[in-house]
């Protein structure tokens, strides 16, 4: 019963969260992302954190089996492994029976296809070092380090790397990281069960500090136990020592498989009080002096500014029909990064972001992209080559579970300034005496761009009222100058009100 | 018709011939009957070669689907369609070649070719003559049945392009020498311009004139363009044969708003919407031929059904269509015929594509009218998705910078940038949900 409930809940969660990363149904299961531990921690969402900790204190690491998509994903891999193994085992049995019936005396090597786990000691040093490093990296704003191994965002990247392949929002670093994570996690789960959760995952290790004191837990009744080892062999966390009848509750993820497996009824999930039944305990050894993160690399992918004199393709002749080629836009140099409305400041954004890619998948305008810059690996940034931050859209701020992008309303969005546009008259068509234009001014939602007749010139050129510009990028995206727009947006390090 | 135009081999289809031909062709449609001819030897259904079917080649570019063109031309000739109208500038300059390739598989006396001197801006005598000689070369012939000064609108226009360059004198000599059987012009413009150019009839003797005529343009032309009823009457008065272009307004009269389509279908449930437009122009005796840019076999067959054993509309039916045209004025349609003269836009905007998307949604009633409307959310979502699907974002209306190059080239006199901005404002109001 307990196990079945766990499986149903887990199925719901992984379906919901996977759909979220596919950009489907945020209104229905958006809350699932908000229950994730690390994002909530970075968002300082204390209600969720305390909730998860209380749940862990009460009943162990249920979070790892039901809420964490990465944990459920590994269970899925293990389930496939078990089903496949059983099938192979049956096939082998049939073959043997057949051979026996035929009276063959050929020697058959009987192979073990189903996975059997056994009790292993915890890798204490690795576990706590990773946790310590993660804590340090949060304090020194190196979120990207912890984000690489944190379960929820790693899962998000896995899904994105598969789902977004072939679309414009795909970048090579994301693809490589996502697929690499997928391969490693699959292999690791296949071979060692929940080893990732109990050795690498900082969230798992942190929760283990509480789960070892949990009030409810699976307990082995020594009087009933016949030492058959079924429970230990089925334990994907390798935490049941059947010989001593001890369970390492710091690693048990409350899957309840053992309870179902035990034919003697010796295992029971019950109230056990505040006793410490774990083999030895070690407090977290906070290791200082973690590598300081190289924050120096601010620069975007270096875009050599192609001098785009006459960048617009003009029709060569007057033949009718056909479409002129449109050169793709290139990312311009920006003096400061552009981060979404609701981020507050560039620093705050990168301090909170776990690079889970949820906002990237929510952005329907092609503005948010994962960075390939080492300093902010896979954390998103905004750019306006394929679209601009539309005034009616607040999708990224609604989905962010980490508080990197705080919720804003459409009305609030009009009053926040995240960047400021600047004009490069060397590229601007009217300033260069080519076509009259004014498209930036026409489409500016805040009326910040005005066309002014330059002194001594016939043409009207765009000028920006710096204090009105909110940095949405409509001007940059719709500027006819290609590949580099004549009007581009620089980020503001601290967002402010218009 | 001019004296030089007497190539009167009557190759009309008898029912027997057509039946046999119908079997021989790849189509399974059994079409028979006699092709309508108002002037001997010319089928009133003419082939406009501006919209040949296209396909993507290995490089991903659109090229004319020659195999299909051949099939269409064969079928057309079998059924008495023998007037083919092309121009050196159609389909990126490839229409003449593709048309010639298909036609030259048949004896020269079976088809009539009409092509044009398609010089538009400042030009030279040499460029004009070269364009003319090139057409002769492409069609591997020493005479052109019909030759047009392409799209003139005012006397000034005629003078700069054809008179002052000396091209007109050259063409008159070519007509005398029999290399041009019929010399005429195609017209887009206002009434004053038409009066000026038709006045030249005394001097040059226009053998035919090509005008835009259909039941909408009859009384409701776009912008400053001339009413077709006036054009027809003036030409009729002078007994000049008339070639009709855009009898279907670039397909707009086959895809009319749903409520109007209902009215047409209520009268003739079995006939296509388009057939009304063709029967309308076919009912005027001064019409030499009515050009239709039939891209698909189905278009051709549907039109043939109208013109084989043709039944003219009576006065009541004509009146009905004119009422329909009046009703259509109430819809905010862009009067684009997808002639592509505005293309390619130097900024990459897909102008006819955007207009088509906008019009199609109005006629199909998938246009979102107001926030209060039933199904507003679903319709809005669908509309916006479909827009991105139909037009890549970099080619959408918001990228138009209003350089107004296209406006000069539009034969329909559409203020293209203004219309694009109107559509963009509409789409913006959908996106921002600020629709009334």
Q: Residue B146 maps to which CATH number?
A: 3.20.20.100
Question: Do B170 and B308 belong to one domain?
Answer: yes
Q: Do B402 and A320 touch (CB under 8 A)?
A: no
Question: Do B125 and B225 belong to one domain?
Answer: yes
Q: Is the dihedral of CA B380, B384, B386, B387 positive or negative?
A: positive
Which run of H or of E encompasses B62? strand B62-64
Using CA atoms, how far residue A20 sits from A32, B344, B379, in Å, is 9, 41, 24
Q: Nearest Cα to A342, choosing from A310, A364, A368? A: A368
Chain A residues interacting with chain B (CB cutoff of 8 angstroms): 312-315, 317-326, 386-387, 390-392, 429, 435-439, 442-443, 478, 480
| Structural domain contains residue B27 | yes
Q: Nearest Cα to B51, choosing from B62, B60, B43? A: B62
Greatest Cα-to-Cα distance within chain B, rounded to the nearest angstrom: 69
For residue B34, what is the DSSP state?
P
pLDDT at B3 over 70: no
Question: Do B407 and B282 belong to one domain?
Answer: no
| Structural domain contains residue B147 | yes
**Number of folded domains in chain B?**
2
Can you tell me the distance from the alpha carbon of B166 to that of B129, in angstroms, rounded to the nearest whole number?
10
- In A143-237, the DSSP E strands lie at 216-220
Which residue would you say has higher pLDDT here, B24 or B255?
A: B255
pLDDT on residue A493: 93
Q: Nearest Cα to B184, choosing from B72, B275, B96, B288? A: B288
Interface contact B407, partner A, CB < 8 A: no
Question: Do B144 and B231 belong to one domain?
Answer: yes
d(CA A62, nearest CA chain B) in Å: 40
Range of the domain at B272: 9-328
Interface contact B2, partner A, CB < 8 A: no
| Structural domain contains residue B316 | yes
pTM comes to 0.72
What is the rounded radius of gyration, in angstroms, for the C-alpha atoms of chain A? 28
d(CA B59, nearest CA chain A) in Å: 14
pLDDT on residue B365: 85
pLDDT on residue A406: 92
| Structural domain contains residue B341 | no
Main-chain phi, psi angles of B92, to 5 degrees: 65, 25
Query: Could you tell me how far CA A263 lies from the centroid of its own chain?
Result: 40
Can you tell me the distance from the alpha carbon of A121 to that of A241, in angstroms, rounded to the nearest whole number?
9
Among A24, A310, A315, A320, the strongest candidate for a mutation testing the B interface, having the largest count of B CBs within 10 A, is A320
Q: Do B89 and A439 touch (CB under 8 A)?
A: no
Residues of chain A with C-beta less than 8 angstroms from the C-beta of B400: 439
pLDDT in tens, B238-294: 999 999 999 999 888 998 998 899 999 999 998 999 999 999 999 999 999 999 999
Question: Do B204 and B241 belong to one domain?
Answer: yes
pLDDT on residue A275: 54
Token representation of residue A264: 């003697």
Per-position DSSP letters for A36-62, written without gaps between them: -HHHHHHTT-HHHHHHHHHHHHHHSSH
Number of A to B CB contacts under 8 A, please give it: 81
Q: Do A392 and B91 touch (CB under 8 A)?
A: no
Beta-bridge mates of residue A491: A419
pLDDT in tens, B378-417: 999 999 999 999 999 999 999 999 999 898 888 888 999 9
pLDDT at B105 over 80: yes
Question: Do B230 and B379 belong to one domain?
Answer: no
pLDDT in tens, B160-190: 999 999 999 999 999 999 999 999 999 999 9
Q: Do B90 and A321 touch (CB under 8 A)?
A: yes
d(CA A159, nearest CA chain B) in Å: 24
Domain boundary residue, one of B328, B362, B395:
B328
Domain boundary residue, one of B328, B361, B385:
B328
Question: Do B172 and B234 belong to one domain?
Answer: yes
Interface contact B93, partner A, CB < 8 A: yes
Residues of chain B with C-beta less than 8 angstroms from the C-beta of A321: 90-92, 340, 343-344
Q: Do A319 and B89 touch (CB under 8 A)?
A: yes
Q: Nearest Cα to B387, choosing from B426, B348, B413, B418? A: B426
d(CA B15, nearest CA chain A) in Å: 39
Residues of chain B with C-beta less than 8 angstroms from the C-beta of A439: 398-402
Q: Do A435 and B345 touch (CB under 8 A)?
A: no
SS3 for A492?
A: strand
Can you tell me the distance from the alpha carbon of A104 to that of B309, in angstroms, rounded to the nearest whole number?
87
Among B49, B394, B402, B410, the strongest candidate for a mutation testing the A interface, having the largest count of A CBs within 10 A, is B394
Question: Do B297 and B373 belong to one domain?
Answer: no
Q: Nearest Cα to A405, choosing from A436, A450, A441, A359? A: A359
Residues of chain B with C-beta less than 8 angstroms from the C-beta of A480: 347, 399, 401
pLDDT in tens, B324-367: 999 998 899 998 988 888 988 999 999 999 999 999 999 888 88
Domain boundary residue, one of B328, B359, B388:
B328
Token representation of residue B37: 């001819």
Residues of chain A with C-beta less than 8 angstroms from the C-beta of B425: none
Interface contact B228, partner A, CB < 8 A: no
Q: By mean pLDDT, which of A219-223, B97-101, B207-211, B353-357 is the weakest?
A: A219-223
Question: Do B43 and B130 belong to one domain?
Answer: yes
Question: Do B286 and B421 belong to one domain?
Answer: no
For B399, the closest chain A residue by CA position comes to A478
Which of A320, A325, A437 lies nearest to residue B343, judging by beta carbons? A320
pLDDT on residue A168: 66
Main-chain phi, psi angles of A237, to 5 degrees: -90, -5
Is ipTM beyond 0.85? no
Residues of chain A with C-beta less than 8 angstroms from the C-beta of B401: 429, 435-439, 480
Q: Do A320 and B348 touch (CB under 8 A)?
A: no
Residues of chain A with C-beta less than 8 angstroms from the C-beta of B394: 326
Question: Do B278 and B427 belong to one domain?
Answer: no
Residues of chain A with C-beta less than 8 angstroms from the C-beta of B340: 320-322
Interface contact B350, partner A, CB < 8 A: yes
d(CA A255, nearest CA chain B) in Å: 43
Residues of chain B with C-beta less than 8 angstroms from the C-beta of A322: 62, 92, 340, 343-344
Q: What is the mean pLDDT of residues B129-146?
A: 94
pLDDT on residue A293: 31
List, as ranges, residues 185-204 from B with C-beta within 8 Å of A.
Answer: none
| Structural domain contains residue B363 | yes
For B430, the closest chain A residue by CA position comes to A392
| Structural domain contains residue B257 | yes
Q: What is the mean pLDDT of residues B229-242?
A: 95
| Structural domain contains residue B334 | no
Give the residue carrying structure tokens 């030009």: B123
Question: Do B18 and B151 belong to one domain?
Answer: yes
Name the average pLDDT for chain B: 89
Segments of chain A scoring below 50 in pLDDT: 277-317
- In order of start, what are the domains of chain A with their CATH numbers? 1-102+112-291 (no CATH), 346-497 (3.30.70.20)
Q: Do B431 and A390 touch (CB under 8 A)?
A: yes
Residues of chain B with C-beta less than 8 angstroms from the C-beta of A390: 431
């Amino acid at each position: 019963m307990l196990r079945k409930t766990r499986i149903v809940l887990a199925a719901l969660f992984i379906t919901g969260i996977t759909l979220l990363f596919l950009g489907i149904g945020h209104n229905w299961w958006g809350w699932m992302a908000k229950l994730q531990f690390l994002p909530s921690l970075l968002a300082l969402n204390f209600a969720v954190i305390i909730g998860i900790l209380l749940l862990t204190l009460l009943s162990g690491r249920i979070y790892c089996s039901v809420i964490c998509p990465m944990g459920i994903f590994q269970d899925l891999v293990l389930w496939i492994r078990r089903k496949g193994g059983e099938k192979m085992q049956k096939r082998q049995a049939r073959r043997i029976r057949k051979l026996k019936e035929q009276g063959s005396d050929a020697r058959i090597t009987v192979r073990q296809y189903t996975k059997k786990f056994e009790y292993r000691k915890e890798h204490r040093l690795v576990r706590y070092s990773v946790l310590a490093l993660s804590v340090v990296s949060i304090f020194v704003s190196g979120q990207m380090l912890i984000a690489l191994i944190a379960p929820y965002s790693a899962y998000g990247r896995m899904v994105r790397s598969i789902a977004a392949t072939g679309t414009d929002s795909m970048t090579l670093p994301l693809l490589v990281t996502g697929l690499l994570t997928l391969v490693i996690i699959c292999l690791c789960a296949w071979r060692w069960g929940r080893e990732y959760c109990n050795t690498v995952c900082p969230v798992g290790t942190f929760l283990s500090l509480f789960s070892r004191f949990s009030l409810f837990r699976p307990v082995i009744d020594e009087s009933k136990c016949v030492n058959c080892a079924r429970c230990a062999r089925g334990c994907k966390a390798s935490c049941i020592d059947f010989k001593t009848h001890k369970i390492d509750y710091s690693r048990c993820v409350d899957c309840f498989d053992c309870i179902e497996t035990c034919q003697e009824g010796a295992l029971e999930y019950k109230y056990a009080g505040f006793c410490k039944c774990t083999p030895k305990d070690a407090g977290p050894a906070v290791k200082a002096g973690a590598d300081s993160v190289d924050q120096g690399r601010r620069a975007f992918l270096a875009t050599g500014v192609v001098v785009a004199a006459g960048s617009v393709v003009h029709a060569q002749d007057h033949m009718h029909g056909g479409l002129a080629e449109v050169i793709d836009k290139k990312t311009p140099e920006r003096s400061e990064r552009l981060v979404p409305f609701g981020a507050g400041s560039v620093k705050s954004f990168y301090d909170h972001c776990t690079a889970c890619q949820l906002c990237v998948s929510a952005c329907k305008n092609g503005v948010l992209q994962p960075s390939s810059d080492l300093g902010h690996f896979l954390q998103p940034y905004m750019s306006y080559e394929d679209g601009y931050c539309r005034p009616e859209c607040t999708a990224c701020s609604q989905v962010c579970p980490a508080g990197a992008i705080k919720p804003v309303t459409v009305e609030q969005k009009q009053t926040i300034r995240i960047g400021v546009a600047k004009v490069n008259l060397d590229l601007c068509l009217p300033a260069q005496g080519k076509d009259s234009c004014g498209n930036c001014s026409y489409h500016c939602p805040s009326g910040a761009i005005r066309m002014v007749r330059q002194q001594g010139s016939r043409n009207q050129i765009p000028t920006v009222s710096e204090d009105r510009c909110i940095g949405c990028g409509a001007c940059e995206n719709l500027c006819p100058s290609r590949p580099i727009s004549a009007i581009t947006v620089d980020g503001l390090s601290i967002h402010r009100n218009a | 018709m001019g004296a030089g135009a007497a190539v009167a081999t009557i190759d009309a289809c008898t029912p027997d011939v057509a039946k046999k031909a119908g079997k021989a062709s790849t189509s399974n449609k059994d079409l028979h009957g006699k092709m309508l001819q108002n002037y001997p030897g010319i089928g009133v259904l003419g082939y406009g070669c501006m919209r040949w079917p296209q396909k993507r080649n290995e490089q991903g570019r659109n090229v004319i689907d020659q195999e299909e063109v051949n099939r269409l031309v064969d079928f057309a000739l079998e059924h008495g369609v023998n007037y083919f109208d092309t121009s050196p500038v159609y389909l990126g300059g490839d229409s003449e070649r593709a048309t010639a390739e298909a036609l030259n598989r048949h004896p020269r006396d079976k088809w009539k070719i009409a092509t044009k001197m398609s010089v538009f801006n400042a030009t030279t005598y040499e460029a004009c003559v070269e364009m003319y000689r090139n057409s002769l070369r492409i069609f591997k012939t020493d005479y052109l049945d019909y030759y047009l000064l392409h799209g003139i609108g005012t006397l000034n226009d005629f003078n700069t392009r054809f008179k002052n360059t000396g091209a007109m004198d050259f063409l008159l000599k070519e007509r005398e020498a029999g290399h041009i059987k019929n010399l005429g012009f195609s017209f887009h413009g206002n009434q004053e311009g038409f009066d000026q150019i038709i006045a030249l009839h005394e001097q040059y003797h226009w053998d035919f004139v090509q005008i835009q005529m259909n039941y909408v343009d009859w009384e409701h032309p776009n912008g400053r363009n001339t009413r077709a009823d006036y054009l027809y009457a003036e030409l009729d008065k002078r007994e000049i044969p008339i070639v009709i272009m855009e009898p279907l307004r670039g397909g707009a009269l086959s895809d009319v708003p749903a409520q109007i389509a209902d009215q047409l279908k209520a009268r003739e449930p079995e006939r296509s919407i388009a057939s009304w437009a063709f029967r309308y122009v076919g009912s005027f005796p001064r019409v030499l031929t009515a050009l239709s840019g039939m891209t698909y076999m189905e278009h051709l067959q549907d039109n043939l059904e109208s013109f084989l054993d043709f039944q003219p509309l009576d006065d009541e039916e004509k009146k009905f269509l004119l009422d329909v045209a009046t009703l259509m004025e109430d819809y905010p349609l862009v009067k684009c015929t997808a002639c592509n003269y505005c293309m390619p836009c130097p900024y990459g905007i897909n102008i006819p594509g955007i207009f088509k998307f906008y019009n199609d949604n109005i006629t199909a009633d998938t246009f979102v009218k107001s926030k209060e409307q039933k199904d507003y959310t679903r319709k809005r979502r669908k509309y916006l998705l479909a827009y991105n699907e139909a037009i890549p974002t970099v080619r959408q209306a918001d990228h138009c910078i209003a350089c107004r190059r296209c406006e000069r080239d539009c034969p329909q006199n559409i203020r293209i940038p203004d219309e694009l901005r109107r559509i963009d404002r509409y789409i913006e109001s959908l996106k921002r949900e600020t629709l009334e």
